[in-house]
Amino acid sequence: MQEYTLALSEPVLVHGLRMSIDTLFRSLADQHAARAIAVVLSGTGSDGTLGLRAIKGHDGLTMAQSPATAQYKGMPRSAIATGLIDVVSPVKSIAERLADYLRHPYVNGMNKQAPVTAAEADRGELQAILAVLQTRTGHDFRNYKQATLQRRIARRMGLHLLQTHQVYSGDSDFRLHGLRVAGN
C-alpha cells in the first residue's frame, strides 16, 4: 500500500501457503500505526494471525467475528486465540461497533489532546485508576511516565467506548490486560 491505495505485489509464500491477510495487516500497521484497524472474518486456517501482531504492536484496533456466527470458524478462532483481539462481535454488529469506536474522542483526537485533563487529574481520576490497577495486579504504577499511562488508559477507554476516567475506574468491565505500560 502506498498513499492510501492498494498496490498489487507478487505473493509471498509461507510454507507453500499465500498469507495475503497477514501481508495486508502488516502493510496497514506499517503505514497507519495506531490508526490501523484489522477485522478478521469467517475463513479457514490462520491467515491474519501474524498480521494482527503488527497491528497490535502499533496500538491499532483488532476485531474478530464471533466464531459462533462464522460459516468458517478457523480464522476467527485463530485470531482470538492469540489474545490480541480487542473486540469479538457477531458479524452483524461489527460495523456498528467500529463506527462507535471511530466516533470516540480517543480516535478523533488521537495524539492531539492530553487524555487526562488537569481538572480530572485534580479530582484524582488517574489516581483512582492506578489504585484499581494496584489492587488487581499488586503492581504500583505511580512511578511510570504519566504520558504513557494516560495514552494507554485513553486507548482502553476508546476500546470500551467510555467517556470519562471516573466511569473507567469504576467500570465493572475494567480490563487490565490491555493497559500495557512497557515500550511506547
Structure confidence by residue, pLDDT tens digits, 45-96: 888 888 999 999 998 999 999 999 999 999 999 999 999 999 999 999 999 9
Higher pLDDT: 147 or 177? It is 147
Closest CA to 70 of 49, 91, 93, 84: 91
CA dist., res. 130 & res. 116, Å (int): 13
Q: Is residue 6 very low, low, confident or very high in pLDDT (cuts 50, 70, 90)?
A: low
pLDDT digits (tens, 9 = 90+) for 155-166: 888 887 777 776
Q: In the prediction, which pLDDT does 17 show?
A: 65
Q: In the prediction, which pLDDT does 80 show?
A: 94
Q: In the prediction, which pLDDT does 4 show?
A: 67
Please name the residues in contact with 17: beta carbons below 8 A apart, sequence gap of 6 or more. Answer: 45, 47
What is the identity of the amino acid at 42? S
DSSP 33: G
CA dist., res. 105 & res. 83, Å (int): 25
Percent of the chain exceeding pLDDT 90 equals 27
Q: Using CB atoms within 10 A of its CB, is residue 5 exposed (0-12), middle (13-18) or buried (19+)? A: exposed
Task: Indicate the average pLDDT of the chain.
Answer: 78
Q: In the prediction, which pLDDT does 123 show?
A: 53
Range among 8-12, 18-22, 82-86, 109-113 with highest mean pLDDT value: 82-86
Q: In the prediction, which pLDDT does 117 show?
A: 54
Q: In the prediction, which pLDDT does 156 show?
A: 80
SS3 of residue 118 by DSSP: helix
Higher pLDDT: 173 or 92? It is 92
Average pLDDT over residues 10-37: 80
Q: In the prediction, which pLDDT does 88 show?
A: 93
